[in-house]
């Protein structure tokens, strides 16, 4: 029959139990934090609110919602950038270009910015039903088309032997290039992209305010 040696220390059972309790507590707290942060909708949101005492109130009054959207004001959602070679010339009805012509090639770098002016949003454009909201957005528009002078340069200039360079020709070519840049952006669907991006931004904002369903049109 084995005899216990009184000099051998007992196994630290109590220490292991305490360590297991501490680890369990840490895991439980981490799980609770994860649940509270991710339970933001529906039934689980209500459960998280009861556990943490988090308020479920949503200020969904029409004037408040409209005011928050209007705060975004001129929402720039698309920047269309491109390079273009623009040509301009002066010709004489009687003399050949080598004598009286003036031709300019301009390498233009510019951008067109489009978006939606949400300050134009009216209360009649917003319809709220509980936690669902439907919004009729203002029409997208081009806010600006500009030429970057630091990246725009004259590629070539050919002037006839009998005339000097027309000082207004480059100005006219720049103006024409600005119009062409904007038209190219429109042809490429900049307004459609501006509307989609604006709708995504507004939807994200309203979901953050507590709405569960957002419809834009």
| Domain assignment of residue 2, yes or no | no
Domain of residue 45 covers: 13-52
Q: Are residues 159 and 183 in the same domain?
A: yes
DSSP-assigned beta bridge partners for residue 197: none
Q: Are residues 105 and 190 in the same domain?
A: yes
Q: Are residues 120 and 24 in the same domain?
A: no
Residues 6+ positions from 213 with CB-CB distance below 8 Å: 131, 132, 133
Mean pLDDT over residues 193-216, rounded? Answer: 92
Q: Are residues 44 and 129 in the same domain?
A: no
Q: Give pLDDT tens digits for 149-190.
A: 889 888 787 776 766 677 788 888 889 999 999 999 999 999
Rounded Cα–Cα distance for residues 46 and 78 (Å): 38
pLDDT (0 to 100) of residue 1: 47
Q: How many CB atoms lie within 10 A of CB 4?
A: 7
Based on the structure, what is the number of domains in the chain?
Answer: 2
Mean pLDDT over residues 88-100, rounded? Answer: 69
| Domain assignment of residue 134, yes or no | yes
Q: Are residues 19 and 126 in the same domain?
A: no
| Domain assignment of residue 192, yes or no | yes
SS3 of 138-178: the string is CCCEEEEEEECHHHCEEEEEEECCCCCCCCCHHHHHHHHHH
pTM higher than the cut 0.75: no
pLDDT of residue 32 exceeding 70: no
The half-sphere exposure of 122 on its side-chain side, counting CA atoms within 13 A, is 3
pLDDT of residue 105 exceeding 90: no
Q: Are residues 120 and 186 in the same domain?
A: yes
Structure tokens at 47: 């459960």
pLDDT of residue 202 exceeding 90: yes
Q: What is the dihedral of CA 81, 87, 88, 90, to 10 degrees?
A: 180
| Domain assignment of residue 6, yes or no | no
Rounded Cα–Cα distance for residues 166 and 171 (Å): 10
Q: Are residues 100 and 207 in the same domain?
A: yes
pLDDT (0 to 100) of residue 61: 77
Using the CB atoms, write b or e for 18-55: b if 16+ within 10 Å. eeeeeeeeeeeeeeeeeebeebeeeeebeebeeeeeee
Q: Is the model more confident about 129 or about 93?
A: 129
Angle 51-56-58 (CA atoms, 0-180°, nearest 5)?
Answer: 170
Rounded to 5 degrees, φ, ψ at 33 are: -60, -45
């Amino acid at each position: 029959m084995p005899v216990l040696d009184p000099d051998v220390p007992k196994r630290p059972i109590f220490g292991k139990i305490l360590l297991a309790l501490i680890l369990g507590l840490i895991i439980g707290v981490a799980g609770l934090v994860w649940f509270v942060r991710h339970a933001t909708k529906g039934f689980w949101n209500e459960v998280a609110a009861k556990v943490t005492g988090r308020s479920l109130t949503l200020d969904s009054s029409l004037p408040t919602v409209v005011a928050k959207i209007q705060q975004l004001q001129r929402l720039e959602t698309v920047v269309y950038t491109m390079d273009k070679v623009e040509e301009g010339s002066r010709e004489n009805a009687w003399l050949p270009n080598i004598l009286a012509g003036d031709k300019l090639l301009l390498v233009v770098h510019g951008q067109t910015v489009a978006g939606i002016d949400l300050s134009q949003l009216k209360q009649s454009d917003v319809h709220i039903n509980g936690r669902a909201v439907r919004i009729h957005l203002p029409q997208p528009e081009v806010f600006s088309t500009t030429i970057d002078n630091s990246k725009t340069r004259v590629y070539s200039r050919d002037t006839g032997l009998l005339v000097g360079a027309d000082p207004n020709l480059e100005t006219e070519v720049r103006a024409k290039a600005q119009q062409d840049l904007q038209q190219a952006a429109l042809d490429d669907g900049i307004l459609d992209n501006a509307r989609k991006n604006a709708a995504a931004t507004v939807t994200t904002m309203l979901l953050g305010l507590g709405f569960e369903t957002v419809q834009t049109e």
